């Protein structure tokens, strides 16, 4: 079976977490340190980069349990169960952003 629907759902959860998470503002000092000086003047770019950073961190942290499962089972390819584990991990990390996402009415 194709893993494409799982990947799309995982990416959508990560995007929602990156945009609506209350932790975006926690990452702002790190973004100021990581971005070049010409980005610092525009607040929209700083918020966008912090949103991208949080989305990427969500993808990576949500995939750790799935990778540990695949390693433990000795699998060489991702199975449907490992994709479900990855989706569940990303879904759990997206829970703090869910209230903001629902409040906007999407």
**pLDDT tens for residues 65-92?**
999 999 999 988 888 999 999 999 999 9
Q: What is the helix, strand, coil percentage profile of the chain, to 5?
A: 80, 0, 20
Domain ranges of the chain: 4-104
pTM for the model: 0.87
Q: How far apart are CA 18 and CA 58, in angstroms?
A: 8
pLDDT digit string, tens, across residues 2-45: 888 999 999 999 999 999 998 888 888 888 887 777 666 778 88
């Amino acid at each position: 079976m194709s893993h494409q629907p799982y990947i799309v759902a995982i990416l959508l959860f990560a995007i929602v977490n990156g945009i609506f998470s209350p932790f975006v503002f926690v990452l702002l000092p790190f973004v100021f340190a990581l971005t070049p000086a010409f980005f610092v003047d525009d607040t929209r770019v700083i918020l966008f980069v912090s949103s991208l950073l949080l989305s990427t961190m969500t993808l990576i942290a949500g995939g750790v349990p799935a990778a540990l499962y695949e390693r433990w089972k000795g699998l060489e390819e991702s199975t449907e169960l490992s994709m479900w584990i990855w989706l569940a991990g990303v879904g759990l990390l997206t829970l703090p952003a869910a209230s903001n996402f629902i409040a906007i009415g999407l």
